[in-house]
A and B are shown apart, each in its own frame.
Chain A
């Protein structure tokens, strides 16, 4: 076919694969902003890439072996793991409780549905800054309340063991509504007949909860888990604003360590290596979760 006919075909979408043409602009855009930077990150991780040096020689997998033998990296790995598990499990429990609560009809139900999302839609940096003020040992409101109840003052953010739990607590407060929202959508879509059948058979409330509600909700629970896992794995905002990885390195997660290495020490090679390792971890884990839960049927 000649050129003119081909162009007409494309423009009037009479080609054999119109969806390809329609999707092409978006695919090209996503490709540019995701794939290409990732490839450059892989390139950077294979070189001794420091911003202060003009030479950036190829060093193969040396950056990776440096990172994997670095005690500080494994410390950050543990911190990340603590953060994820410590935040995820309470979020699920609280989120589920909130969702069940929302499902019932009570006065103020409608207002509650709008208000309970407030923590999630607030900017994380703002949350971090406000909590720092509240937690200030001498001038913060939390210590004011504790001391007026006769309890000792807290210095949680200066404590190597407690600091990460403060961050986890804030994460739970901030994201439980999000989990609740997803589970609430699931609850709304529950079929009624199994419940009627169960009550006819004499099942108790707990039994119908455990054997009917939870299994029906499981795809939603898994979706919520995946969302939250991916988010907490790379969480940065509140950690940076509140502790910057301190005290010591007790709240330094892998992402924070990569940030420090790349943007404080200007050692982009090692920072990229840490990031690629994180990428591999998350690909492997999400594949395992997806396969196990059979979501991608």
Chain B
């Protein structure tokens, strides 16, 4: 009796482990309808723009007889997951969301469909897109992804903290930035928050603005990497100094959501990060500083002010099962109507069509800081420098090494040493 009981329990446990560990991937197929419903699988980033679209998916599904399944992934994970799917020529995804920095690499590896044909045949309005974003997502004249959300960088400052300390205007130069950060780090508040976490899309993303502003050049004229120039060393020292001394505890490891959280909680006087933070900072559900934040251009250095450029677009893998339906979905999701609708109903301070930016309803809703935000953002979009981060195929590795160097300098290593080391490693694999 005991033995059969044990056997029974053991088999139940085995079965439940087997069930529990099955991956929850894949979409649900429609049950037994006579018209075949196509299911589109999309790998998308965990971002407020995606959330805004998810609310409208039902409409699209009803109108077009397709089912759309979103695989929502955080920024760090989406690259490894989609790259593996692309490299193994799998048909797992019909649509992937990817960032402009990786388009040259994917284009050369022939992983994505060239969208020019679909664009021509469906007559998608390309003029309306922010041209900078469109260029960033193209390679050699072919468009590989349609811009879904785009951002630049800006300086956000807490006007209340500034007023309490008698500071009337935001810093315009990097020197002013450092002195104000120092001045405002007191009484439990901190001067500045910026990305510290190592990564090409994390600390390197914000630091590149300082690099470019101090006059750094990614490559010399004969195409050699140049990351340990005196300007670069200086920019690293300034960045590391700001985060080690005037950022909240743990600030040297902040990802962008932690920077955003600290601004929302009123912990910091300033932050330099993405333009689309604004809609989350001004969201009364999550933010304690609604209406108190001012927006200004990123502080300038000797070589000028360099806002970032980053755009995430929707691309179609080469081996996707339903490329035509995928393109239709992509056109819908980036269309003027949907961009405007999601902007008015959700948090979309990151639209990619000029017509939406100029629409009076949009301007009314996103009237942060008395219209300053829209001004600074459109200026940043127009002024952004295409090679803010160098668009080379080996960017992932290049950027990762710089991220490590920054992290090491924040831990106390000399900037010159860390950058010389990064330079050596970069030269090593760029041959």
Contact = CB atoms under 8 A, between A and B. Distances in A.
Interface stretch (A25-33, A38-46, A188-196, A260-268): A260-268
A247 B253 contact: yes
Interface string A235-260: 00000000010111110000000001
A137 B250 contact: yes
A266 B83 contact: yes
Given A137-B250, A158-B250, A246-B198, A263 B80 contact: yes
Interface string A53-90: 11000000000000000011000000000000000000
B250 A247 contact: no
B249 interface: yes
Contact of A52 (B87, B197, B250, B410): B87
B249 A52 contact: no
Interface stretch (B227-235, B348-356, B396-404): B396-404
A6 interface: no
A264 B79 contact: yes
How many A residues touch the partner, as a band?
20 to 34
B14 interface: no
A221 to B, nearest CB: 30
Interface string A270-281: 000000000000
A246 B407 CA distance: 8
Nearest to B106: A52
A297 B87 CA distance: 48
Given A246-B198, A265-B396, A157 B253 contact: yes
A264 B396 contact: yes
Contact of A138 (B250, B252, B410): B250
A158 B262 CA distance: 17
A248 B396 contact: no
A246 B87 contact: no
B57 interface: no
A121 to B, nearest CB: 13
B61 interface: no
B365 interface: no
Contacts of B411: 159-160, 247-248, 250
A248 B407 contact: yes
Contacts of A52: 87, 105, 108-109, 393
Nearest to A249: B404
B264 to A, nearest CB: 12
B56 interface: no
Interface string B393-431: 100110010001001101110000000010001000000
Contact of B87 (A72, A137, A250, A266): A266
Contacts of B87: 51-52, 266
A290 B267 CA distance: 56
A244 B76 contact: yes
A25 B279 CA distance: 60
B83 to A, nearest CB: 6
A156 to B, nearest CB: 9
B252 A51 contact: no
B84 interface: yes
B80 A264 contact: yes
A155 B250 contact: yes
B248 interface: yes
A137 B249 CA distance: 6
A157 B84 contact: no
Nearest to B88: A51
Contact of B408 (A53, A248, A260, A263): A248
Interface of A: 51-54, 71-72, 136-138, 153, 155, 157-160, 244, 246-250, 260, 263-266
Q: Which 8 A-B pairs have the closest CB atoms?
A: A137-B250, A51-B87, A137-B249, A160-B411, A248-B407, A52-B109, A158-B253, A248-B408
Given A52-B87, A159-B411, 9 more contacts: A51-B84, A153-B249, A158-B249, A247-B198, A247-B253, A248-B408, A249-B404, A263-B84, A265-B397
9 contacts: A53-B109, A54-B110, A138-B267, A158-B196, A158-B249, A158-B252, A247-B410, A249-B404, A250-B411
